[in-house]
Structure 1
Amino acid sequence: MREHIIEVIRQIEKDNDIKILFACESGSRAWGFPSKDSDYDVRFIYIHKSNWYLSIDQGRDVIEIPSRDPISIPIHPLLDLSGWELTKALRLFRKSNPPLLEWLRSSIVYYQSYSTIDKIKVLDKNIFSPISCLYHYLNMAKGNFRDYLQGNEVRIKKYFYVLRPILAAKWIEKYNSIPPIEFQELLEDILIPGELKESILTLLKRKIAGEELNLEPRIDVINEYLTREIEHLEAYTKGLKLEIPDPTRELDQLFRNTLSEVWN
């Protein structure tokens, strides 16, 4: 699949007259718990030629294949690609956008070219906003917990989509730093040995083994933990007040340097 993904990346560049700077895995495969039929969720950052930026009308700054944009070669049915144009990515980076920060920490990198991504990674500790990231992970956890885990029977696989953001938020509370992307690394660091951790590890083994984790009786020890931590993290986040230096001038220069490096 990796070779096919590289082939698709090259074709996206040709079809759209762009250069891709970075492409990685972002979904359950990057988190460390793919199912046998999990999509390949490839996310990328790209840059146009200079004339695209010298227009009175701003163009569309996202490429989504195959959901919204065509590509001139066949692609694997499990392959889903989405890319952000560089200035969009840098504006989101300035706001400490958690999905983008996760892309930069993905353990599965399919492609990287030019110096831009390495330079962004040097800056990310300075722009990291614990408040922004905590609210993102907390809202994700609350939404999934409310929608999927409230009945006597629940969609068991949805536990991971509540546990992962909760553990990421706990990492931020503990270390005041960007959390790792891998679920098991978060789990091992945040939770002490005991019934809760064993219950989660059992679910993780089942998911990685390819079991269909559909409707089953809810797991009370996990539900109780999630309820308690959501309440705690809401209170903790409301009490935070931090100011982050504005990195706009540095990011403007990074964009200009990239434009020159890629196209000159």
Structure 2
Amino acid sequence: MTTEIQQELSRLESQHDIKILYAVESGSRAWRFASVNSDWDVRYIYVHRPEWYLQIDDKKDNQEEILPNDIDLAGWELRKALRLFRKSNPPMLEWLDSPIVYREQFSTAAKLRALKQQYFSPRSCLHHYLSMAEENYKDYLLKDMVRVKKYFYVLRPILACDWIRETDTMAPTEFIKLLDSQVHDDRLRSEIDSLLIRKSSGEELSEEPRIPLLHDFLTGRIAFFKEYVKDLPSPTLPDTASLNSLFRETLAEVWNFDC
């Protein structure tokens, strides 16, 4: 599948006259709890030729395409990606930490990683992960019979909240790193490991009775963080100068001219 993804990325470059700076796997495969039938969620950052930016009208700054072979392609134009990075957008930060990299051309991604802590906002990321956890919890886990694979989609953001609260840094993309660092109760860990084994072996994990231990843990952590975020100071946008410079440097590097 990696070869097919590489071919599709090259097709996009040719079709849209762009350069893809960075392309990674996102979602469950990057989180390392994919099932055998999970889609391939390919996310990328791209840049147009300089003349594309020298116009008075804004143009589309993203691309989306779902292919018949379960490849889901979605990309952000560089300026959009930098604006989201400035706001400490968690999906953007997760892309930079993805363990599955399909393409990394030029120096842009490395420069963004070097700036990541400078632009990181604990409050913004905590709100994002808490909202994700609470939404999935309400949608999937409040009935007596639940879709047990949805436990992962509440566990991961809650453990990310715990990581951020503890370290004041962005949570790792891979679920196992969160699990190892944040779950210290043996009974809880055993329950989660059991679900991971079942999911990775290809079991569908459809509706089953609610798991009391996991339910109580998630209920308690969601309630805790709903109170915790109330006392966090509002973030202030960092200076944009570094990102403006990075944008100009990328154009010069990719298209080979002096900025």
| TM-score grouping bracket, smaller chain normalisation | over 0.9
Shift of residue 245 of structure 1? 6.0
Shift of residue 92 of structure 1? 0.1
Shift of residue 76 of structure 1? 5.2
Contact 1:127/1:244, CA 8 A, preserved across alignment: no
Check if 1:27 corresponds to 2:27: yes
Identity %: 51
Contact 2:124/2:235, CA 8 A, preserved across alignment: no
Distance in 2 (alpha carbons) for counterparts of 1:244 and 1:180: 23
Per the normalisation by structure 2, the TM-score is 0.96
Distance in 1 (alpha carbons) for counterparts of 2:17 and 2:115: 28
**Structure 1, unaligned stretches of length 5 or more?**
67-74
Shift of residue 244 of structure 1? 4.8
- Hey, what does 1:254 align to over in structure 2? 246
Q: 2:214 aligns with which of 204, 222, 231?
A: 222
> 1:110-189 alignment to 2 at 5 Å?
110-189=102-181
Paired letter, 2:139: D
Shift of residue 126 of structure 1? 0.6
Check if 1:77 corresponds to 2:74: no
- Hey, what does 1:47 align to over in structure 2? 47
1:2-50 C-alpha deviation (Å, 9 max, x unpaired): 1111111001000000000000000111101111110010000000011
Shift of residue 240 of structure 1? 1.1
C-alpha RMSD of the superposition: 1.1
Distance in 2 (alpha carbons) for counterparts of 1:116 and 1:190: 32
Distance in 1 (alpha carbons) for counterparts of 2:233 and 2:56: 38
Per the normalisation by structure 1, the TM-score is 0.95
- What secondary structure sits across from 2:245 in the alignment? helix
Paired letter, 2:103: Y
- What secondary structure sits across from 2:223 in the alignment? helix
Aligned pair in 2 of structure 1 residues 28, 243: CA closer, same or farther (>3 Å)?
Answer: closer
Distance in 2 (alpha carbons) for counterparts of 1:3 and 1:77: 13
1:187-210 C-alpha deviation (Å, 9 max, x unpaired): 111011322111111111100111
- What secondary structure sits across from 2:172 in the alignment? coil
**Range with bigger deviation, 243-252 or 81-90:** 243-252
Distance in 1 (alpha carbons) for counterparts of 2:174 and 2:111: 23
TM superposition outliers: structure 1 runs of 4+ over 3 Å: 242-245
1:193-250 C-alpha deviation (Å, 9 max, x unpaired): 3221111111111001110111100101111111100011111111111655623111
Q: Report the number of matched residues.
A: 256
Distance in 2 (alpha carbons) for counterparts of 1:219 and 1:179: 26
**Structure 2, unaligned stretches of length 5 or more?**
none
Contact 2:21/2:45, CA 8 A, preserved across alignment: yes
Distance in 2 (alpha carbons) for counterparts of 1:26 and 1:65: 15
